[in-house]
Structure 1
Amino acid sequence: MAYEEAKKKLRGSICPVITPFTESGAIDEKVFIELINWQIESGSHGISVTGTSGEPSSLTIAERKRVMNLAKETIDGRVFFAPGTGSTNHDETMELTKYAEDIGADAAMVIVPYYNKPNQEALYQHFKTVADSVEIPIIIYNIPGRSAVNMEVGTMKRLVEDCPNIIGVKEANKDFEHVNRVLLNCGRDFLLFSGIELLCYPMLAIGGAGFISATANVEPAKVAELYNAWEAGDVARAQDLHFELMPLNDVLFKDTNPSPVKVALGMMGKITPKLRLPLGLPSAAIQEEVRESLIELAILPKEVIVK
């Protein structure tokens, strides 16, 4: 896909689909396929897997490839596909990004390495080496809250200038000044996706391309509608959805993502709410808050009983 074509196509609500597990901890491939089909039927414009919500650090390299391939086969060109291919390990990131290219993904989302805490020059060299090794479009995933490092605007600008296939960024960055400066310095056509739920609507207002929101796992239709309303010029509806979704956004991050999301999907009968250690389910109090939020949005009936 030509990069300018990719910039036109890769827009909207991209769901970072969770990785469902069976009670024994194996990947539940049947349920995974069902989740992707449900997302597409509900109006999500794109699918990502093996990002933060997909628990990539709890998967082996072989499992990440299997999840990516299964997603690509299930999507079958109906919406665009941008799997997460980043890791703390440079060679693994290279291998997974090349694999995304080989299976025909529309883009690869590469996270700022977590735990390592590289400096800005090392970040530049890491991303440039990965980008230079493939032709697939690259979306930087900047999430300082989990990686402990923020990719500075100057570093991102250098990468955009030197690597034509780096076409966008998922900014899970609460600093709204920072994300404004990303577009100012990287170009107004640079794809800016929100990875912060409460900034999904505000980022559209400054020219963002959409959002990659964990909340779409639970309420895909309304999250996609927010983008559709904005694109249609229905600002009032987009604002209404922004505030309507806010309580759900809040409760889904009362514990480490994707723990509350999996609890919600379990209550909805979509998955077995299983995580791999070292992650675990949230407290009973948070689970009750999740249940109340789902009832408030009419995702669950009021008489639902959660065991």
Structure 2
Amino acid sequence: MFDEIKQRLRGSIAPIITPFDSNMEVDIEAFKNLINWHIASGSHGISVTGTTGEPSSLTIQERELVMETAIKTANGRVPVAPGTGSTNHAETLRLTKAAQEMGADAALVIVPYYNRPNQQALYNHFKIVADSVDIPIIIYNIPGRTAVNLEVKTLARLAEDCPNIIGVKESNKDFEHVNRVLLNCGRDFLLYSGIELLCYPMLAIGGAGHISATANIVPKEVADIYNYWAAGEVDKAIDLHYKLMPLNDVLFKDTNPGPLKTAMGMLGHINPALRLPMGPPPEALQNEIRETLVSYGLL
């Protein structure tokens, strides 16, 4: 049923930041420019209002504006899978239905954060969300942020019971867990890495691609990890994996997207503002970010 879109949703799905202007309003023009730059640079798809897009710093209306802008700007050139999840069930339903109405290709729905639901409650939440729409759902499992892990057996139940749950973004350092996802959900289930250092390794076990914050800095290179792998040029993919490691490391020495926005500001892409309670990284880390960008020839 979803074979065509599942094929299109492979590769580097870039999780784009939400830029703010000097008045701390969403900078729509800068946002459109970023989307066009990603598409021109070879990103295979676009995701917005995920962790990197600071959804908890946005109002519902702003999230809807960002989603709609992304879909209209991409204009079918690449698939768009906005983040529609929240800690609030009704809000998740509203945003996921809105994504469908706007023409999104899929929705990325995070495991609810802070309230730590049990596995049956997680099943009920995702089952109702999936049943409320006809578009594909990609579940987003990020236990380091949500304080709860979506267990493989729960995910497998959802994949079996909900035909439109087609994949999962695993920001999960437990590599045994991600192996068991494909074992239990099927090899055609779309498995994405949300951990930068696992982008290549997940491809090696049958992953569909990655949703990596680093794509905001070097979209072509992050896309090329997948391109090389898909072309059978494994050594080139491995070389690129190791080449990007220092950049990946520095971007996660403080809470994402703080270092990322700082780097993008240094590169002239955006005003690097974050809304409270988020804030810029310490000065020492900002200096390290600058040195790293210089070392890559980006500055």
Q: Pick the TM interval, shorter chain.
A: over 0.9
Q: Please, what TM-score do these two structures have when normalized by structure 2?
A: 0.99
CA distance in 2, matches of 1:101, 1:74: 16
1:186 aligns with 2:185: yes
Matching residue of 1:200: 199
What percent identity do the matched residue pairs reach?
70
For 1:1-307, list aligned pairs within 5 A. Answer: 2-300=1-299
Please provide the CA RMSD for this pair.
Answer: 0.5
Which string of whole-angstrom CA distances, capped at 9 and with x for unpartnered residues, describes residues 196-255 of structure 1? 000000000000000000000011010011110111100110000000000000000000
Offset at 1:112?
Answer: 0.2
Name the aligned partner's letter for residue 176 of structure 1: F
Equivalent residue of 1:14, what SS? strand
Cα separation, 2, equivalents of 1:273 and 1:3: 38
1:9 is displaced (CA, Å) by: 1.4
Give the AA of the match of 2:239: D
Matched residue SS, 2:244 = helix
* Deviation by residue 1:50-96 (Cα, 9 ceiling, x = unmatched): 00000000100000000000001100011110000000000000000
Displacement of 1:115 after TM fit? 0.4
Structure 2 residue matching 1:141: 3-state secondary structure: strand
Partner SS state of residue 95, structure 2: helix
Residue segments in structure 2 that go unaligned for 5+ positions in a row: none
Separation in 1 of the partners of 2:69 and 2:133?
Answer: 21
Looking at structure 1, the residues matched to 66 and 250 of structure 2 have their Cα atoms a distance apart, in angstroms, of: 27
Matched AA of 1:81: V
What TM-score do the two structures reach when normalised by structure 1?
0.97
Count of paired positions: 299
Equivalent position amino acid for 1:87 in 2: S
C-alpha displacement at 1:292, in angstroms?
A: 1.1
Cα distance, 1:167 vs structure 2 = 0.1
Counterpart CA distance in 2 for 1:4 and 1:242 is 29
Distance 1:240 1:80 in 2: 28
- The 3-state SS of whatever aligns with 1:81 is coil
CA distance in 2, matches of 1:95, 1:275: 25
- Secondary structure at 2:20 match in 1: coil
- Give runs of ≥4 in structure 1 deviating > 3 Å: none
Q: Distance in 1 between matches of 2:247 and 2:257?
A: 13
**How big is each residue's C-alpha offset from its partner over 1:235-282, in whole Å with a ceiling of 9 and x where there is no partner?**
110000000000000000000000000000000000001000000000
